[in-house]
Amino acid sequence: MFYKVQVNDHIRVPPDFFKLPVDDAVTQRIKKKYEGHISKEIGIVIDVADVQDIGEGVIIPGDGASYYDVTFDLLTFKPEMQEVVLGRIKDIADFGAFINMGPLEGMIHVSQTMDDFVSFSKEKVLTGKESHKTLKVGDLCRARIIAVSFKDVANPKLGLTMRQPGLGRLDWINLQSEEKEEVKEEKSPKGKK
């Protein structure tokens, strides 16, 4: 999920930035320090949304740079357990599919792709034995996050499933809705709505 997070930090502005207005220099240094930053607490930093307050600058003897106490907002993406996400299949292997959700990729184990026995072909397609559903690179899918690991902070791991109602390739979901509607119509008494 995307969040706007307020952060307070001491930002170092080296002397070669002194020629810029303070706001611009501080904003550039915040962007350099935080963009792409990944942590378990705030997730993945996408962008610096807004600089709220820049305190008085202090120069530390022997360093030459100025330090500012700054309050600013970050736009972050932090995956949450049980969150439903939309993504595009980036790659398929014999053990599952990799889905791109924007700032992160996740993995859907072959057993979690569909409620069917699934086979893998050399053309990088997963096919359901009885349902004949296929999953290939480029498919737009809805999945649920079932595992989040920040063990390697530089490379967080996400596990996803598509084996629940309302999940899977988008046309599968639409087909499920149409089938439910047909069953509902068959069960309703004729002439009544």
Q: Render pLDDT for 91-148 as a digit per residue (tens, 0 to 9).
A: 999 999 999 998 889 999 999 999 889 999 889 999 999 988 999 999 999 999 999 9
Tokens representing residue 14 in the block: 């080296």
Enumerate domains of the chain plus CATH numbers. Answer: 2-77 (3.30.1490.120), 84-183 (2.40.50.140)
The Cα diameter of the chain in Å comes to 88
Cβ(98)–Cβ(106) below 8 Å? yes
pLDDT tens string 17-33:
999 999 999 999 999 99
Residue partners of 12: CB distance under 8 A and separation at least 6:
29, 65, 66, 67
User: What tokens appear for 154 in the block?
Assistant: 């530089």
Query: Is the model's pLDDT at 188 over the cut of 70?
Result: no
**41 — pLDDT class (breaks 50, 70, 90):** confident
Angstrom distance (rounded) from CA 9 to CA 30? 9
User: Is residue 134 a contact partner of residue 127, using CB atoms and an 8 Å limit?
Assistant: yes
> Is the per-residue pLDDT at 13 higher than 70?
yes
Query: Which residues, at least 6 apart from 68, have a Cβ–Cβ distance to it below 8 Å?
Result: 10, 11, 13, 22, 26, 54, 55, 56, 57, 58
What confidence score (pLDDT) does residue 63 get? Answer: 87
Give the closest residue to 77 by CA, choosing from 169, 156, 183: 156
Q: What is the DSSP letter of 41?
A: T
| Amino acid at position 126, single letter | L
- Identify the three-state secondary structure at position 32: helix
Q: Residue 127 and residue 172: Cα distance in Å, rounded?
A: 13
User: How much is the pTM?
Assistant: 0.75
